[in-house]
A and B are shown apart, each in its own frame.
Chain A
């Protein structure tokens, strides 16, 4: 991220101890993510169209960042269906992360609007609108503040279709967006990734994109195609940092389908969101240091219900699995993935399944670089798994 800042700010940042990108001067592994060079982003239209999911895509592309991709998806959704509504705290002027910029001007204050400052109210309101056939896209300003709406999400949104049964009523049109994840200096309440608390709730779909092109396709799927309520989590550190070629026209990407970013034969790494970039760096270094080794990198994309067949097929092939996520290890997504691998691919395993995750502590200000999975820990996991 520091690379994108004007030089003056860049100097200030790197001299501070509370940035995720700070590393030891001698560091070989824990280097800042270079978003301009990472293979995870499509730096050209050719690269974008060479991936299977975009192979059939046509039309112009534009280099945009993640918040612009979210904005583009929201614009497409609002234009596509007059059932789509967009609301939350400070959404009208464009949002505190600019995701809804210009949308009120284009689509009117009846469809894009501010709500009072009440998370339980926002989600409750959205559930009611969805029950009456609308496609509300509610924004929670930070995932850290979704907890007041937990009751509405868990007891109401998730169970709505189930308890209505044959009446047919449901809130499938509902999408709840929220910025999540570490951002370098977010401390306790601007850093959390509460996806695991939602993956324990049958009835909700939990999605987290890794890049602008993924974000646009997955968000459009969540809004226009999914008939189940979706919790859509946006890694806020990528809002401005991740820039790539994205199709200008609307398109969707399938939910509950993992994406094999990089094939490999020796170890499978399963991750989602921002840590994928660190996984990619760790893999590059590991493959350089251990010639002949091939690591497979898989983006879960939809964290629940997740794509078990793709992960199991990969682990049966490689015999080794590492799960990487930012939120804490205890009862995190990694626990479920690891248990499923152990149950269904036991005979293929050559080493214990490893979990590289946030420690079982809170996301505190100073210690973020030591808490979120870094390149060194992922690199070490690859090495230890192979050497087991």
Chain B
């Protein structure tokens, strides 16, 4: 992009045989932006088009990151579950809070433990746990409406759970059986559901961020045109590592300039696989960047589900204000678990550090303390709930594991809306080969066997 100048000069070359009239009417329009900005005598600034409010100074002073105050971390309750934000009040009934708690337990604590083990036993090809980030997922999801669209990265099981993903939905995807909407094409944990307005997860990091901006722009236009469509926002989740990708930069900039009602929610858990944040960036986290893009930004305590919910509720309101605009939330947490089942995190961080975080603070224990202080939870409830969830998870696990795989033809469908002539030929060729060498292929798991191709 360094050679944009060259592009511009190309424009002149390519338009040199344009009708003279066209070129003439082009020029004044381009110039008009800079006509009225000449410096008035004695003015303390010139309205340079690139920074119209900047004033002159005769002091040569570099803006240093170290001079800026570190952005605060908003919390509602402390690590003992005691509310410290006096302005906060519960805006839902107790049952709703208990639901959040159960969703965190189900989607993360219990299911994660069982599936991680299942992968270790070779019954599942891959798994990613999200211990430590349950509060971010469930807390933010609880602040949205079912019509809001969601783009995830991959460590947001709680979002799917809160929006209505059932254990059967999780397990069908994890075991890639015939009930998996992804038709067995995606790795485990790449969930998706259009019924729940939650796009299917893709592995390339940060690609979903500019997509979320475009989706938000579409929702904004649709609501503007049809007053029967209530205003909606898009929420987009990503980790602090993904925020180093060019797509993050592209997305925040395009969302700000096009005024898209999108909430960018960064899960800053301290690590991108083995890379600590010290090697990811040197600025004040991700939040400090939002301001640079002209985006309203907040940093919250990701272990405090009440804070995450409150911040997301306010972000949603802000995102829809004045015709729409993006908001950035940086939710601080700690990745208690390994990155994935393919990772042993003790190769790059001390076991004691992890144990410390596990013991000191986590979103589940913090909400539990809050609920116990309020008298709506107890050791007894905790025990029976955990046991019940465990039973349900194991039941769904068993059913999904033995369910047939999708038909073999799924490898060719949905690439284009219809099969191409070339794909049709290749599908027939694969079938011919399998029929010719039946002993070379095991089709017993696939729905319909060879007939499914």
Contacts and interface: CB of A to CB of B under 8 A. Distances in A.
Interface of A: 4-6, 9, 82, 85, 93-94, 96-98, 110-111, 113, 115-118, 120-134, 136, 141-142, 145, 148, 151-152, 155-156, 159, 161-170, 172, 183, 185-186, 189-190, 202-203, 205, 227-228, 236, 239-240, 256, 305, 308-309
B192 A167 contact: yes
B250 interface: yes
29 contacts: A85-B221, A98-B18, A118-B249, A118-B253, A124-B207, A124-B209, A125-B217, A125-B251, A125-B254, A128-B214, A128-B216, A128-B234, A129-B217, A132-B214, A133-B218, A148-B246, A151-B204, A152-B210, A161-B416, A162-B185, A163-B192, A164-B194, A165-B182, A167-B192, A170-B417, A189-B6, A190-B6, A308-B422, A309-B421
B207 A152 contact: yes
Interface stretch (B9-17, B134-142, B350-358): B9-17
A168 B212 contact: no
A141 B4 CA distance: 11
Across chains A and B, which 6 residue pairs bring their CB atoms closest together, nearest first? Answer: A124-B210, A128-B214, A121-B250, A128-B211, A132-B218, A125-B214
Interface in B401-446: 410, 414-417, 420-422
Given A151-B207, A162-B414, A183-B14, A129 B192 contact: no
B273 interface: no
Interface string B183-209: 101100010111100011010100101
Interface centre among B1, B3, B224, B420 (most CB of A within 10 A): B420
A309 B420 CA distance: 12
A120 B421 contact: no
A134 B30 CA distance: 30
Contact of B17 (A9, A124, A129, A163): A9
A165 B17 CA distance: 50
Contact of A168 (B149, B194, B202, B225): B194
B194 A113 contact: no
Contacts of B221: 85, 110-111, 134
A41 B35 CA distance: 44
A380 B15 CA distance: 35
B213 interface: yes
A169 B186 CA distance: 15
Given A115-B258, A124-B250, A132 B210 contact: no
Contacts of A118: 246, 249-250, 253-254
Contacts of A240: 17-18
A130 B210 CA distance: 12
Interface residues of B, number: 68
A125 B181 contact: no
Nearest to B193: A167
Counting chain A CB atoms within 10 Å of each CB, the highest count among B199, B200, B217, B257 belongs to: B217
B447 interface: no
Interface in B10-45: 10-11, 13-18, 22, 26, 29-30
A349 B221 CA distance: 56
Nearest to A167: B194
B17 A6 contact: yes
B219 interface: yes
B26 A93 contact: yes
B247 interface: yes
A202 B194 contact: no
Nearest to A201: B415
A161 B185 CA distance: 11
Contact of A228 (B26, B247, B416): B416
Contacts of A4: 17
A166 B183 contact: yes
Nearest to B225: A82
Contacts of B410: 165
A168 B417 CA distance: 10
Contact of B210 (A82, A117, A120): A120
Contacts of A166: 181-183
B194 A172 contact: no
Interface string B243-277: 00011011101100110000000000000000000
B219 A132 contact: yes
B181 A165 contact: yes
B415 A202 contact: yes
Nearest to B214: A128
B247 A120 contact: yes
Contacts of B13: 185
A126 B214 contact: yes
A129 B211 CA distance: 7
Contact of A96 (B7, B247, B254): B7
Nearest to B425: A308
A113 B192 contact: no
Contacts of B30: 93
A333 to B, nearest CB: 14
A190 B16 CA distance: 16
Nearest to A168: B194
A165 to B, nearest CB: 4
B340 interface: no
Interface in B146-205: 149, 151, 180-183, 185-186, 190, 192-195, 199-200, 202, 204
A152 B209 CA distance: 11
- Greatest chain B CB density within 10 A among A93, A94, A131, A308 is at A131
A223 to B, nearest CB: 15
Nearest to A171: B211
Nearest to B1: A117
B7 A142 contact: yes
Nearest to B194: A167
Given A152-B207, A159-B202, A203 B416 contact: yes
B420 A115 contact: no
Nearest to B182: A165
A128 to B, nearest CB: 3
A129 B214 contact: yes
Most B C-beta atoms less than 10 A away, residue of A129, A132, A145, A169: A132
B248 to A, nearest CB: 10
A113 B258 contact: yes
A97 to B, nearest CB: 7
Contact of A165 (B185, B210, B213, B420): B185
Contacts of A145: 1
Nearest to A93: B29
Contacts of A85: 221
B194 A124 contact: no
B337 interface: no
A155 B202 contact: yes
Given A124-B213, A124-B214, A125-B210, A163 B186 contact: yes
B215 A132 contact: yes
Contacts of A256: 420
Most buried by B among A133, A156, A162, A308: A162
A165 B179 CA distance: 11
Nearest to B252: A121
Contact of A125 (B213, B416, B417): B213
Contacts of B414: 161-162, 164-165
Contacts of B365: none
Given A120-B246, A120-B247, A128 B422 contact: no
B222 interface: yes
